[in-house]
């Protein structure tokens, strides 16, 4: 099993910071409301929030990043993810219906791409593999495409 690009960890940290900023903004609003309506001291919202912020920004991204791994060969794409509930997916390459290579703005600046394979299945018909370098994502896409030999059902 291979791990994701190290830049994916950066991306997860950036996402975590955005999430933390939103939480801080909400907390500031809450503190302002408390300050306006009562004589309670500052920190009633921030105090409990602090450990949450530490968790979200410092601890969680690394754990999440390490929880991801994948392997890819001629026959199957495997990926493992999840901290609490672990999921290990196996997708037979010849069952892939179509393939997406997607990239958000932050991912673009970090040179990352996501590979999304779609199968004809129901519950897990869309399997997303994030944190690939652009070149690797395109290479995997081309390999999968070459492998899709539709046997008559």
Partner 1 sequence: MSAATIADRRVHPLTIGLRVLRDLPRTVLAGPAVLAFMSDIGLWRAFALAGLIALVMLFFTWLGWSRFRYGIGERELVIESGILHRNRRTIPFESIQDVDIEQKLLERLVGLFRLRVETGGGGKDEGLIDSVRIEEAERLRGAIRAGKSKVPPATDGAPAESRVLFAMGLPRVFLAGLFNFSLVFLAGLFAFLQTFDRLLPFDIYDPARWIGLVDRALPQRFAFQAVAAVLLMALVLGVVAGMLGTLAREFGFRLTAEPGRLRRVRGMFTRSEAALSLRRLQVALLRSGPMRRAFGFSELFFQSLGAGTDGGGRQSAAPLARDAEIDPILAETGRFRRPEPGSLAVVSRWHSARNLVKLVPVATILIMGVAFRPAFYPALVLIPLLAGAAILARRHHRFGLDDGLLFVARGVWRRRLWIVPARHVQGLALVRSPLQRTLGLATLAVDTAGARATGGPAIVDLRLDSAEALARAVMRARSQVSGKKSGTER
- Binding residues for partner 1 (CB under 8 A): 75-76, 84-92, 94-105, 108, 118-125, 127, 138, 141-142, 145, 148-153
Q: Least Å distance between CB 82 and partner 1?
A: 8
Q: Which tokens go with 14?
A: 């950036």
- The residue among 41 and 105 lying less far from partner 1, judged by its C-beta, is 105
CB neighbour class for 130 (10 Å; exposed up to 12, middle 13-18, buried from 19) = buried
- The residue among 29 and 75 lying less far from partner 1, judged by its C-beta, is 75
Q: Least Å distance between CB 27 and partner 1?
A: 28
Is 133 in a helix, a strand, or coil? Answer: strand
Q: Least Å distance between CB 111 and partner 1?
A: 13
Distance CA 108, CA 123 (A): 30
**Overall size of the chain counted in residues:** 153
């Amino acid at each position: 099993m291979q791990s994701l690009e190290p830049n994916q960890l950066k991306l997860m940290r950036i996402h975590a910071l955005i999430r933390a900023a939103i939480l801080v903004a909400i907390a500031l609003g809450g503190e302002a409301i408390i300050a306006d309506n009562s004589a309670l001291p500052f920190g009633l919202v921030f105090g409990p929030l602090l450990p949450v912020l530490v968790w979200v920004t410092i601890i969680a991204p690394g754990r999440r990043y390490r929880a991801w791994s994948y392997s890819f060969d001629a026959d199957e794409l495997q990926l493992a993810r999840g901290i609490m509930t672990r999921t290990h997916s196996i997708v037979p390459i010849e069952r892939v219906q179509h393939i997406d290579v997607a990239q958000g703005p932050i991912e673009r600046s970090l040179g990352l791409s996501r590979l999304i394979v779609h199968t004809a299945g129901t519950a897990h018909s869309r399997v997303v593999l994030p944190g690939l370098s652009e070149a690797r994502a395109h290479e995997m896409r081309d390999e999968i495409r070459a492998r899709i030999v539709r046997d008559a059902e």
